[in-house]
């Protein structure tokens, strides 16, 4: 196939490009800045605001995989610009050039749009996708991890250095390894049965993981099998987010918006893809160990 991909320079997008190339697909990938050559990838310079560029990116493609978006922003407007307006631009371009298959990467946070600005923006983007006259499929991943991920990196570092890992209050979450998710996105591009569906994929663990179990997985991966997990109250996380914003400004990873959805007690998936379309292949224990090994090889851990 010929695939048009946004977000290809990011963590998940990199996994999608590698898997797509391994399958022999030809990829056009949007990028803001020059990139090194990659097998089967044609880099298209532009942004989600460059409508003529988006038309060139998509024209003649068999499917669009829209990954790009913001996971962190200072105010709601930043999320809306990246996640809602950006999605609208991609939908408009796909419709204009006649490409119907549209795979949209959302977030499990869209299930609770009133919890956070991020979740609201992902929910808003989903509404646009559902209203579009295209053959769409929406994917709502839970927490994604894997080689190249910087969002969970600090948790791995703290676990290794301290042997104690602070986590949100009690709750449960689902997990998915980035390579597994990349396989799903590519499988969906060829699955007519998935048209008009919204899926919440994970690693196949029915009830997900408690926060303590999640922490123990990280501890085992970094060589701390006796790691202690510490449930941090919501008010303390809010204070920590304010302090991090003062220290790091726009680069702060822990924000008040993130605290709101981190503290939600149930981020377990509910609508898994049918097994005749896709099955998870990576367990959390295997995936976390491989992620820690990748961090070590890069000198990050």
| pLDDT tens figures, 225-258 | 999 999 998 889 888 878 877 777 767 777 888 8
Classified as helix, coil or strand, 231 is strand
Residues 108, 121: Cα–Cα separation, whole Å? 12
pLDDT of residue 292: 98
In a domain, 60, yes or no: yes
59 contacts: CB under 8 Å, gap ≥ 6: 97, 99
Classify residue 297 as exposed, middle or buried by CB count within 10 Å of its CB (0-12, 13-18, 19+): exposed
What is the residue range of 141's domain?
2-149+174-206+269-282
Does residue 163 lie within any of the structural domains? no
When divided into structural domains, the chain yields a total of: 1
> pLDDT, tens digit, for every residue of 58-75?
999 999 999 999 998 888
Buried b (16+ CB within 10 A) or exposed e, 94-115: beebebebbbbbbbbbbbbbeb
Q: CATH code at 107? A: 3.40.50.720
Residue 161 lies in a domain: no
Whether 9 is in a domain gets the answer: yes
- pLDDT for the residue 238: 84
Any domain includes 20: yes
pLDDT recorded at residue 171: 95
Higher confidence at residue 239 or residue 37? Answer: 37
Let me know if residue 132 belongs to a domain.
yes
Q: What is the mean pLDDT of residues 110-129?
A: 96
- For residue 82, the 8-state DSSP code is I
Residue 170: φ, ψ to 5°:
-55, 140
The answer to whether residue 58 sits within a structural domain is: yes
Tell me the whole-structure pTM to 2 decimals: 0.95
Does 97 fall in a domain?
A: yes
User: For residue range 128-168, what is the model confidence (pLDDT) as tens digits?
Assistant: 999 999 999 999 999 999 999 999 999 999 999 999 999 99
Question: Mean of the per-residue pLDDT values for the chain?
Answer: 95
């Amino acid at each position: 196939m010929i695939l048009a991909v946004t977000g290809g320079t990011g963590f998940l997008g990199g996994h999608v490009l590698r898997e797509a190339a391994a399958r022999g697909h030809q990829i056009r990938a949007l990028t803001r800045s020059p990139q090194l050559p990659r097998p089967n990838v044609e880099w298209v310079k532009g942004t989600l605001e460059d409508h003529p560029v988006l038309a060139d990116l998509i024209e003649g493609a068999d499917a669009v995989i829209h990954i790009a978006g913001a996971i962190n922003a200072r105010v709601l407007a930043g999320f809306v610009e990246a996640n809602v307006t950006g999605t609208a631009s991609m939908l408009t371009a796909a419709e204009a050039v006649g490409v119907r298959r549209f795979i949209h990467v959302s977030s499990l946070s869209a299930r609770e749009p009133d919890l956070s600005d991020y979740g609201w923006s992902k929910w808003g983007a989903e509404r646009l996708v559902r209203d579009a006259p295209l053959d769409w499929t929406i994917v709502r991943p839970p927490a994604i991890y894997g080689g190249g991920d910087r969002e969970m990196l600090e948790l791995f570092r703290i676990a290794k250095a301290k042997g104690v890992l602070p986590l949100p209050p009690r709750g449960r979450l689902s997990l998915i390894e980035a390579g597994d998710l990349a396989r799903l996105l590519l499988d969906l591009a060829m699955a007519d049965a998935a048209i008009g569906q919204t899926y919440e994929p994970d690693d196949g663990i029915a009830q997900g993981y408690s926060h303590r179990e999640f922490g123990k997985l990280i501890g085992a991966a970094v060589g701390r099998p006796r790691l202690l997990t510490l449930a941090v109250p919501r008010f303390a996380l809010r204070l920590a987010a304010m302090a991090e914003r003062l220290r790091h400004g726009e680069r702060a990873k822990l924000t008040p918006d993130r605290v709101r959805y981190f503290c939600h007690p149930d981020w377990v998936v509910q609508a898994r893809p049918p097994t005749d379309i896709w099955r998870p292949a990576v367990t959390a224990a295997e995936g976390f160990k491989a992620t820690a090994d990748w961090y070590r090889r890069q000198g990050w851990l």
